[in-house]
Chain A
Amino acid sequence: MATTAVTAEQHAATAQHHHEPGFIRTYVFSTDHKMIAKQFLLASLFFLLVGGLLAAGIRWQLGFPGQPMPLIGGLFSDTTAPGGIILPEFYNALVTMHGTFMIFFAIMPLLVGVWGNYLIPLQIGAPDMAFPRLNMASFWISVPAGVIMLAGFFVQGGHAGAGWTAYAPLSSEPEYSGVYMGQILWLISLTILGFSSLAGAVNYITTVINMRAPGMTWFRLPLPVWALFVTSWLVLLAIPILTGGLIMLLFDQTIGTGFFSAATDGEPLLWQHVFWYFGHPEVYILILPAMGLVSEVIANRSRKPIFGYHAMVLAIIAIAFLGWVVWGHHMFQSGMNPLLGTTFMITTIIIAVPSAIKVFNWLGTLWRGDLHFDVPMLNALSFVSMFVIGGLSGIFMASAPVDIFIHDTYYIVAHIHYVLFGGSLFGIFAAITYWFPKMFGRIFSPVLGKVHFWLTFVSYNLVFFPMHTIGLRGHMRRIYDPNQYEFLQPLQPINTFITIAAFVLIATQLIFAFAFFWSMYKGEKAPRNPWKANTLEWTAAPTPPPHLNFPGGAPVVYRGPYEYSWPGSTDDFLPQDLPPDRVSRTPIPSEPSPMSTGD
C-alpha cells in the first residue's frame, strides 16, 4: 500500500481526476473518513444495545434472584439459563461480557472510531485522513473481532467469565473457571481489535500533525480535535501493552506457559500490572474525547468563547500524562507493596486537579452566556453534572485506607458508571445529536431527543445513585446472589428498585434508536449551519460533505474556533474561515480584536 501522508494541496489536485466510486466502494469498502465514521457509529450502537441487554440479564438476577426471566426465559439453553433461571456461570459471563462489550466495542469506538474519523479531517480542513486505506482497514479489522467476541456465547463451556479485567489465574487456567474456548475467543478478539485501534491512532496523529489547513495553528484547533489527538497517543502507547498481556494469557491458556500461574513460578499479579498499565490510560481514552466534544457543544450553545481555552488544552495533556502513573490504585488491596500504595495514592489524587480545572472552565463558559437548551446542550450539561459526581466519588477510593472498605463493592460500580455512562455516554448523545445534521443532512428530532434525554437522565440516576449506598453497606460486586449473605438481605428491595429503574433506562434507549432512524429519513431538513457554529465542518463544507470534503480546496483559517458574540460583529459568531474584510462589523470597534486571537 502506497499510503504516504499527502498534503491537502496534493490531495485536492488528485480530486480533479476523481471518479465517483460504485456502491461497494461507497458504502462497504469505503476509504472516505465520513463513511467509515458512520460504519463505526452503526456498529458501536449495535454493541451498545448488546451491552445493554447483557446488563438487563445481570439486573434481572440481582433484582429477582433465582426467578425465571419473563418473556425471553424460554430461549436460553440448559447451560446458560434453564427455564429462564440464570446459572452462576452464565451470570459471570454476563458480567464479563457487559463490561467487555461496553468498553471495547461500544464506548471506545463511539468516541474514538466515530468522532476521530468524522471530525478530525472536517475540523482541521483536510480532504480525508492521511492513510485512507489504513483507515478502511481499521474498521474492517474490528468486524471479525466483534463476530469472534459474539461467537463466544455459543461455544461449549460458555463465554469468558473472569470479569472484563480477566484476572489470572482464573482467566488463565480452565480447571478453575470451567471456561476454555470462551476465554480463548475473548483473548483473540481483543488482540485483533487492538490492531484496529492502532491503525486508527496512527492515522489520527499523522492527520492532525500534517494535514491542517493553512492558518489552522495548534491553538486554533477545536477542542474535540485536541482531545482526540491526545487520546490517539494514549491508544498508540497503551494498546500494545494490553496486546502483550493478552498474548501471554493466551499462551497460558493454550500451551501452559504459566506466565501468570503460581504453580509454575509465574506471577498472578504481573497480569494485573500489565492490564492496569494499559487499563488506566484506557479509562482516559474513554473520557477525554467526550470532554472535547462536550466543550464544543457548550461553547456553541452558550454563544460564548470557551472559558480558558489554553487551560482546557493543558488539562487534557496533564490528564494524559498523569494517567500513566496511577494504575496501582486499582491494586491497593492486591498485595502490592504497601509503600507503592502510598505513592499511587498521591499521584492518583493529583489527577483530580486537571479534572476540576475542566469542570470550572465549563461553568465559566456558561457564565454570562446566552444558553440554548437544545438536545445536544442538555446532554452536554448532564455530562458536566454527572462527571462531577463520578469525579468526587473517585476521591474516596483514591484514599487508599478508605478504599479498603469500598474496593470491589457497588461503590466502585456506581463510580465507573457515573464516569462512563453519566460522563462518556451523555457526551456521546450530545455529539450524535449535535453533528447529526452534518452527518445525515437532517435535524435530530428535538421532541424525541428531549423525551429521550429526560427519561434517560432520571432513570440513569435512579439506577446508579443508590449503588453508592449499597456499596457502603458492603455489597460486593460481581456476586451472583447477594442474599447468600445475611447482612445483604435487607438490601434486596433496593436491588429490586435498581433493576426496575434499569429496565426503564434500557427501554428508553429504544426511543433513541427510533429517533435516530426516524430523523435520518423523516427529520427536518437541516440548513448548512444550523447551530451557527464557527468550525470548518459547518462553515466551509457543504452538507453532507462530498468526497474530499472541501470542493473549493482547503479552507484558509483566520482565527480560533470559539469566537462567539464578538461585539465588533453584527452576527454572534465568526467562522474560522471568514476573511477579516468580510466580517459584518458593528460601529463599536473598541473591544480587543479577535481577528488574530487564538494563536
Chain B
Amino acid sequence: MENWSWLMDGSASTFGPTIDRLYLVILIITGVVFFATQGALIWLLIKYRHRAGHKAEYIHGNTRAEVIWTVIPFVIVLGIALASRGAWAQVKDPQNIPPNSLPVHVMASQFEWDVTYPGLDGQLETGDDFTVRNRMDVPADRPTHVILEAEDVIHSFFLPDFRVKQDAVPGMVMNVWFQPTRTGEFVIGCAELCGIGHTRMRGTLTVHSAADYQAWLNEQSQP
C-alpha cells in the first residue's frame, strides 16, 4: 500500500534528501500536534458531555494559558521557517547554481518541452546546438543548469523525483538546476494548467552514466 504512504518516494537529486528531511520534521511536528489536539478534543467531548445534574463551570479564560499557547506555537513555526531558509536558497537562488553545470535550454510551449543542447562544444547558442522534443538526457556526474523559458502561456517544469518545480513564464528566463544522484528514467511533468492539452504535456528525463552520456551526445551530434 505504498500509494497511501505519508512519505514521498525516494528522491534522485542531491538536494532531494534535504527537502525530504524538512518535510519529515514538519510531518513529525504536525503529527504530534494533530494527535494531541484531536485526542484532547475527543477526551473533552466524552468527559464533559451533558449528564443530568452536571453543570458547566463559569470560567472566562486564563491569561497564563493564552501566553503559553501563543508563545510555544510561535517559536515552533518560526523555527520551521528559519530552518527552511537554507534549502530554499540552495535550490532557488541563482547564485547557488554550480559553475560546472551543463547548460541546457528548455522552451515550454503548448504542449511540449523543447530541449536544446550545447552540442560537443559545451556552449549554447553556437552552430552545433541541437534540439530534442519531450526528452531530456543528462549526465550523472555533473549538475545540469536548465535555462527555462515559455513561448505562449505559463507552464511549470516539474521533476517530482528531483524535487524540482519551476514555472516557466513568457518573457522571463528562469534558472533551474539539479544534480542527479542515480541513473535511470524519470518523468517531466507540467504542473501549471496551460490549456486543453495540459494533461499530455509530459516528457522523459534520462540520467546517463558519464560514458553513456558522451556516447549519446556523439550520436546526436552526427550531421
Contacts and interface: CB of A to CB of B under 8 A. Distances in A.
Contacts of B56: 302-304, 368-370, 564-565, 572
Contact of A309 (B61, B65, B88, B160): B61
Contact of A405 (B19, B38, B50, B93): B19
Contacts of A310: 61
Contact of B160 (A173, A346, A487): A487
B41 to A, nearest CB: 6
A591 interface: yes
B80 A395 contact: yes
B6 A407 contact: no
B74 to A, nearest CB: 5
A399 B44 contact: no
Contacts of A513: none
Interface string B150-164: 001110101010011
Contacts of A567: 58
Contact of A353 (B6, B19, B44, B70): B70
A263 interface: yes
B205 interface: no
Nearest to A405: B163
Interface string A415-436: 0000000000000000000000
B188 to A, nearest CB: 10
Nearest to A267: B171
Nearest to B75: A353
Contacts of B62: 307-308, 364
B174 interface: yes
A304 B88 contact: no
B48 A371 contact: yes
A381 interface: yes
A88 B196 contact: yes
B189 A485 contact: yes
Contacts of A393: 30
Contact of B191 (A268, A367, A476): A476
Nearest to B30: A392
Interface in B116-142: none
A574 B174 CA distance: 63
A89 interface: yes
A109 interface: no
A351 to B, nearest CB: 9
A345 B195 contact: no
A578 B18 CA distance: 62
A237 interface: no
A342 interface: yes
Contact of A399 (B55, B81, B191): B81
Contacts of A357: 66, 69-70, 73
A292 interface: no
A309 B9 CA distance: 45
A64 interface: no
At the interface, is chain A mostly helix, strand, loop or mixed?
A: helix
B4 A469 contact: yes
B24 to A, nearest CB: 10
B103 interface: no
A251 interface: no
A405 B165 contact: yes
A304 B200 CA distance: 56
A466 B192 CA distance: 22
Given A346-B81, A395-B80, A352 B195 contact: no
Interface stretch (A9-17, A33-41, A163-171, A188-196): A163-171
A244 interface: no
Query: Which of B62, B78, B171 gathers most chain A CB within 10 Å?
Result: B171
A353 B73 contact: yes
Q: Which of B8, B74, B189 has the most CB of A within 10 A?
A: B189
B199 interface: yes
Interface string A473-497: 1101011111011110011011000
Interface in A67-83: none
Interface string A256-281: 00000111011111000000000000
A395 B60 contact: no
Contacts of B57: 304, 368-369, 565
Contacts of B168: 335
A197 interface: no
Contacts of A371: 44-45, 48-50
B89 A269 contact: no
A170 B195 contact: yes
Contacts of A49: none
B187 interface: yes
A557 interface: no
- Among B48, B81, B172, the most chain A Cβ lie within 10 Å of the Cβ of B81
Nearest to A473: B3
Contacts of A473: 3, 8-9
A388 B61 CA distance: 21
Contacts of B80: 349, 395, 398-399
Interface in B74-130: 74, 77-78, 80-82, 84-85, 87-89, 91-94, 110
A202 interface: no
Interface of B: 3-9, 18-19, 22-23, 26-27, 29-30, 33-34, 37-38, 40-41, 44-45, 48-50, 54-62, 65-66, 69-70, 73-74, 77-78, 80-82, 84-85, 87-89, 91-94, 110, 152-154, 156, 158, 160, 163-172, 174, 187, 189-200, 202
Across the A-B interface, the 7 shortest Cβ-Cβ residue pairs? A262-B171, A474-B160, A262-B170, A401-B87, A308-B61, A370-B56, A338-B92
Given A363-B44, A367-B44, 17 more contacts: A163-B193, A176-B152, A262-B170, A265-B171, A311-B70, A356-B69, A357-B69, A364-B65, A369-B57, A395-B26, A396-B23, A399-B26, A401-B88, A405-B165, A564-B58, A567-B58, A597-B60
10 contacts: A89-B196, A161-B196, A167-B192, A333-B156, A348-B81, A350-B77, A371-B48, A372-B50, A474-B9, A493-B3
Interface of A: 88-89, 92, 95, 161-163, 167, 169-170, 173, 176-178, 261-263, 265-269, 302-305, 307-311, 333-335, 338-339, 341-342, 345-346, 348-350, 352-353, 356-357, 359-361, 363-364, 366-373, 381, 384-385, 388-389, 392-393, 395-396, 398-402, 404-405, 407-409, 466, 468-470, 472-474, 476, 478-482, 484-487, 490-491, 493-494, 564-567, 572, 591, 594, 597
